[in-house]
Amino acid sequence: MATETPTREAPAAGRDASARGSGAGELAREVSTLQASLLGRLHTEMAGGDPALFAAAAQRLAEEFGSVTATAVGTLWQEQGRASAPPAAAEGEHPSLYRPGQMRRRLDQLLECRRRYEQPFALVVFDVEGPGAREDGGGGRQTALAVVGAALGESVRLVDETFRLEEDALCVLAPGQGAVGGVQMAERLLGALDELERAGGLRIGISAGVVASPEHGDDADALLHKADEAMWRARAVGQPVGVGALGD
């Protein structure tokens, strides 16, 4: 079961979240002020014209600014979240893998942006398997995770974030993506691992479970559970990638 290793939050976590919320609110107000200014100018320019045309133009403007606000706030929360994250990964892990405990905070941030600004995101859980991932005295499991972490770095976008869960499980959070984008990410990783096997003979397999919000809901625990179930269902039928059921 790919659940996150429990960690105890520091008292400063609440203050950090408050600071992020304050910054996001200020940014949203600035964008709203700009939108109101442009709407006023639009009304002046179209004065005496067809009210239906003005209403349509105002709606398009609102949709565009909604998308801008969601993207800007999501990026702000991400950058501020990274600033408060531990500066280095645990010994033996690839630097791109955040330590356990960071993922749940970031997931909660994305869900808040989803509820406020309707910005979707994908969540992909990976389980590392195969001969290259077996535990041994030489640190085979850590080596496999480092290899997968490096391959993920070439398979995800700059705004996507990779996290270590328990044992040999990883999770990627991808803002602005749906389930289709999550599947494409997993397929890129599979291709990268295939190339590594052909080049160096290190056989590492993965199973992936993909969900997205709002497609699969807006509850953090339910999303993680659905992603985990999708991963195991895919493995049971011999497929590398599974997508969460919409009706669960």
pLDDT score of 62:
66
For 132, other C-beta atoms within 10 Å of its C-beta total: 21
Chain position carrying tokens 């499980």? 169
Residue pair 74/173 in contact by the 8 Å Cβ criterion = no
pLDDT score of 92:
47
Residues 34-83: pLDDT tens digits? 667 776 776 777 777 777 776 776 766 666 656 556 665 566 555 655 55
Is 0.75 topped by the overall pTM?
A: no
List, for the chain, all residue ranges whose pLDDT scores fall below the cut of 50: 5-21, 85-93, 95, 131-139
Strand partners, 163: 98, 171
pLDDT score of 150:
82
